[in-house]
Structure 1
Amino acid sequence: MKVVKFGGTSVASGEQIQKIFNIVTSDPERKVVVVSAPGKRFKEDIKVTDLLLSCVEQYLSSGEGKEAFEAVVVRYKEIADYLGVSAEVVDRISMELLEILHGDRSDAARFRDAVVASGEDNCAKIVAAYFNVQGVEAHYVNPKEAGLFVTDEPGNAQVLPESYENLYALRDRSGIIIFPGFFGYSKEGAVVTFSRGGSDITGSILANGVKAAVYENFTDVDSVYSVNPNIVSNPKAIQELTYREMRELSYAGFAVFHDEALIPAFRAQIPVVIKNTNNPSAPGTRIAHEREHQNGPVTGIASDNGFASIYVSKYLMNREVGFGRKLLHILEDYDVSYEHTPSGIDDISVIVRQKQLDGGTEEQIVQRIKDELQADSVTVKRDLAMVMIVGEGMQQNIGTTAKAATALSKAGVNIEMINQGSSEVSMMYGVQGVDEQKAVRALYDAFFNNN
């Protein structure tokens, strides 16, 4: 049995959904289908999820949002009309969305989750209806009916362990199961969404629950590439990755796969294959526990920006028991989470997402570090980018660090920070944000360009 997930571009139009039908019915092992909300049909288009967010804003502020609501319904109507799906399905979608919008709005976060989750939920209903129009038995299955229970954290739900046992019963159902991604239900019966892009998470949870042989994730690219194609032209495609490599690359800016989505599949040791809805015959990229290291030490290079570094220096810091804990506790008091903490004997840098430090918060944190930890100096550097080199093969390779540093030096990129994970699967360089793309190109040339 295979679980197959289709992203927003794959369900953006009736034509795209016809491709889904052909892909699913071409392989009898594709039994469980997870769908996102309709995405963009063209560059200037608006995703259904964003239209629903507009509904949320308008209804919370004024109690009405006719224009945004009608835009959502029109998108579904256009898809249904193209596919020859009964108008009754769209009428049902319209009525149920209106019921949600005119429901309880006292808790804004819970109201938002209920409205936004309808994007995936209604798409699943149309897809199931189309399969049946084509004479293929298919059933829309609601997450509550299937027993997908999650923690009651609006916008950041985590699956509850009992869900996996509940979902296993889906194996016994006849026909093809069409399941909406992105949300589950709390034990109290409320709709709760995963973080944005969480349909990948739903697919991974279902793959674990039904003990699938493979989890196929269809998107709009032929494979995962070794670097962002917007930075380097015609980059090398990656045929196979380990879970750890994909997790590191997803964290550092690879948008192909939601970084939390690997966890359920990883725990069940289910291979994940990323494929292209528009070119399903392409082999795609396979993600598994282990792979053969045939292509050198580095698998991919990724980057992300919007970071800040809090640099703290104090003579004999290494002799002061609890210094690091006290420093991080100060950040915790301001709900600031940290990303990395490279350190020396008398200094430490804490890398955080810059958006967490508004003017007042930064000033207070710096002052407390000076006052409470008697630091000799505290400096905040903003507008940093993190460039990550990822590869399981780096563990057995000598000279990777030297090669990377030489490449950055030749490109005129100043290294602000170096951090290597204890797993030796990744190596990260902090550089000025303006040098991000230059650094990525230099590293790609060093590790992937034979010339």
Structure 2
Amino acid sequence: MKVSKFGGSSVASAAKFKQVAQIIQADKERKMIVVSAPGKRYADDTKMTDLLIALAGKIQLGEDYVEEFGKVIDRYREIVTELEMSEEIITEIIDNIDSLISLHKNDPFRLLDCLKASGEDNNARLMAAYLQHLGEEASYVNPKEAGIFVSDEPGRARILELSYEELPKLKEREGILVIPGFFGYSEQGNIVTFSRGGSDITGSIVAAGVKADLYENFTDVDAIYSVDPRLVEKPCEMKEVTYREMRELSYAGFSVFHDEALEPVFKSGIPVCVKNTNNPKAKGTFIVSKRKVGDQPVVGIAGDKGFCNIHVDKYLLNREIGFGRRLLQILEDEGISYEHTPSGIDNISVVMREHQLTPEVEERVLDRIQTELEVDNISIERNLALVMVVGEGMNSSVGIAAKATEAFAKAGVNLEMINQGSSEVSMMFGVKADALEKAVQALYNTYFNKMYSISYSSVK
């Protein structure tokens, strides 16, 4: 049995609905389908989720929202009309959105969460109705009915263990089950969404809950590439990558797979295959527990902007018990999460997402560090980018880090910091944000472009 998730670009129009239906019908093992809200039909289009956010905004301000409501319904109506389906499903969708507005119009946070969730919810209703229209035995399954129970944290829900007691019951049902992604229900009965892009999380949860043989994640690329194809022309495709490698790459900027979505399937050991809706015959990329490394220790390179670094110096810091704990406690008190903590014998750096350090927070943090920890020097470096070199094979290969630093030197990229975890699945390099593209290209050429490596070696 397979759980198949279709992203927003895969269900953006009537033509895409037809493609998805053909994919489902082509394999009888595809019994459980998870869908996103309609994505962009073309470059300048607006995603359904953004239309719903605009609708919620108008209601929250107490303004007329007829136009925004109409845009939402028109997207669904266009799909229904082109698929030559009954208008009854549109009436059902209108009634659903109306009921959400009536129920939550005086609670802006719940209203926003419920309306965002309705994009996936109503698209699942529509997909199930279309499969029935084609003669398939299919049914829409609400997340509450499916047993997807989450923490009551709008916009950042976490799955509850109770869900894994309920989800196996889905296997007892007949036909194709269509489940909306992106949200679940709290134990109090509230609709609660995952973070943006969380339909991947739903697919992974369902796959783990029913102990699927495979979780298929359909998107708009043939495979996951070793580097962002916007930065490198015709990059290598990754045929196989481990959960740990994918987690590192997702964290560092790979947008193909939501970085929280791997946890359920990772714990259950269920393989994932990322496939192309537009080219379903392509093998795609498999995400697995273990893979054969071969002669290519590095599997991918990723980079992301928007970081800053707090650097602290104190003589004999290494002898001061509890210094690191107290430093991180100050950040915790301010609600700041950190990414990396490179350190030396008399210094330590804390790398974090830059948006967390507003001017007011920065002033409080620096004052507390100076006063409570009595440091010699403290500084903040902004506009940083992190570049990750990822590969399970790096721990048994000599010279991986040396190649990276040589590549940066040749490309004229200045290194701000280096950090390598004890697992050696990844190496992190900090560079200035404006040097990110050059840094990623230099690393890709070093590890993947053999002609470049040969010519570089001959020059040396």
Output the TM-score relative to the length of structure 2: 0.97
Superposition pairs of residues 299-378 of structure 1, within 5 angstroms: 299-378=299-378
Aligned 8 A contact 1:84 1:133 in 2: no
Deviations 1:13-53 (A, max 9, x none): 01001000000110010000000000000000000000000
**Unaligned stretches of 5+ in structure 2?**
452-460
Shift in Å at residue 107 of structure 1? 3.5
Q: 1:101 aligned to 2:101?
A: yes
Aligned residues: 451
Aligned 8 A contact 2:39 2:46 in 1: yes
Q: 1:263 aligned to 2:245?
A: no
Shift in Å at residue 380 of structure 1? 0.2
Shift in Å at residue 115 of structure 1? 0.8
Deviations 1:144-194 (A, max 9, x none): 111111111111111111211211111111110011000000011100011
Q: Which amino acid aligns with 2:98?
A: L
Pick which of 82-91 and 234-243 moved more.
82-91
Shift in Å at residue 63 of structure 1? 4.8
Q: 1:119 aligned to 2:116?
A: no
Deviations 1:294-326 (A, max 9, x none): 241100000000000000000011111111111
Q: Tell me, what secondary structure is at the counterpart of 2:152?
A: coil
Aligned 8 A contact 2:181 2:198 in 1: yes
Superposition pairs of residues 70-219 of structure 1, within 5 angstroms: 70-219=70-219
Q: Tell me, what secondary structure is at the counterpart of 1:103?
A: helix
Q: Which amino acid aligns with 1:102?
A: S
Superposition pairs of residues 59-74 of structure 1, within 5 angstroms: 59-74=59-74
Aligned 8 A contact 1:85 1:126 in 2: no
Shift in Å at residue 66 of structure 1? 1.5
**CA distance in 2: counterparts of 1:137 and 1:434, whole angstroms:** 53
Q: Percent identity?
A: 56
Q: Tell me, what secondary structure is at the counterpart of 2:103?
A: coil
**CA distance in 2: counterparts of 1:270 and 1:405, whole angstroms:** 37
Q: Which amino acid aligns with 1:46?
A: T
Aligned 8 A contact 1:5 1:35 in 2: yes
Task: Give the match for residue 242 of structure 1.
Answer: 242
**CA distance in 2: counterparts of 1:230 and 1:295, whole angstroms:** 26
Aligned CA-pair RMSD: 0.9
Pick which of 286-295 and 237-246 moved more.
286-295
Q: Tell me, what secondary structure is at the counterpart of 1:365?
A: helix
Superposition pairs of residues 401-420 of structure 1, within 5 angstroms: 401-420=401-420
Aligned 8 A contact 1:417 1:431 in 2: yes
Q: Which amino acid aligns with 1:163?
A: S
Q: 1:33 aligned to 2:33?
A: yes
Shift in Å at residue 368 of structure 1? 1.5
**CA distance in 2: counterparts of 1:99 and 1:145, whole angstroms:** 19
Q: Tell me, what secondary structure is at the counterpart of 1:114?
A: helix
Q: Tell me, what secondary structure is at the counterpart of 2:61?
A: helix
Aligned 8 A contact 1:413 1:435 in 2: yes
**CA distance in 2: counterparts of 1:14 and 1:442, whole angstroms:** 42
Shift in Å at residue 105 of structure 1? 3.5
Q: Which amino acid aligns with 1:22?
A: Q
Q: Tell me, what secondary structure is at the counterpart of 1:307?
A: strand
Aligned 8 A contact 1:271 1:287 in 2: yes
Deviations 1:35-94 (A, max 9, x none): 000000000000000000011111111254221111000000000111122101001101
Q: Tell me, what secondary structure is at the counterpart of 1:350?
A: strand
Shift in Å at residue 361 of structure 1? 1.4
Task: Give the match for residue 392 of structure 2.
Answer: 392
Task: Give the match for residue 48 of structure 1.
Answer: 48
**CA distance in 2: counterparts of 1:59 and 1:120, whole angstroms:** 20
Task: Give the match for residue 293 of structure 1.
Answer: 293
**CA distance in 2: counterparts of 1:50 and 1:243, whole angstroms:** 31
Aligned 8 A contact 2:17 2:127 in 1: yes
Shift in Å at residue 223 of structure 1? 0.4
Q: Which amino acid aligns with 1:176?
A: I
Q: Which amino acid aligns with 1:425?
A: V
Q: Which amino acid aligns with 1:228?
A: D
Q: Which amino acid aligns with 1:51?
A: L
**CA distance in 1: counterparts of 2:428 and 2:363, whole angstroms:** 27
**CA distance in 1: counterparts of 2:214 and 2:81, whole angstroms:** 33
Q: Which amino acid aligns with 1:311?
A: H
Deviations 1:422-444 (A, max 9, x none): 21100000000010000000000
Q: Which amino acid aligns with 2:435?
A: D
Aligned 8 A contact 1:84 1:130 in 2: no
**CA distance in 2: counterparts of 1:199 and 1:243, whole angstroms:** 18
Q: Which amino acid aligns with 2:167?
A: L
Pick which of 252-261 and 318-327 moved more.
318-327
Deviations 1:194-239 (A, max 9, x none): 1110100000011011110000000000100000001111100000
Q: Tell me, what secondary structure is at the counterpart of 2:335?
A: coil
Pick which of 99-108 and 235-244 moved more.
99-108
Aligned 8 A contact 2:221 2:276 in 1: yes
**CA distance in 2: counterparts of 1:341 and 1:109, whole angstroms:** 35
Aligned 8 A contact 1:58 1:65 in 2: yes
Deviations 1:331-376 (A, max 9, x none): 1121111111000010000001001111121122112211111110
Q: Tell me, what secondary structure is at the counterpart of 1:298?
A: coil
Aligned 8 A contact 1:4 1:33 in 2: yes
Aligned 8 A contact 2:311 2:347 in 1: yes
**CA distance in 2: counterparts of 1:166 and 1:284, whole angstroms:** 31
Aligned 8 A contact 2:104 2:110 in 1: no
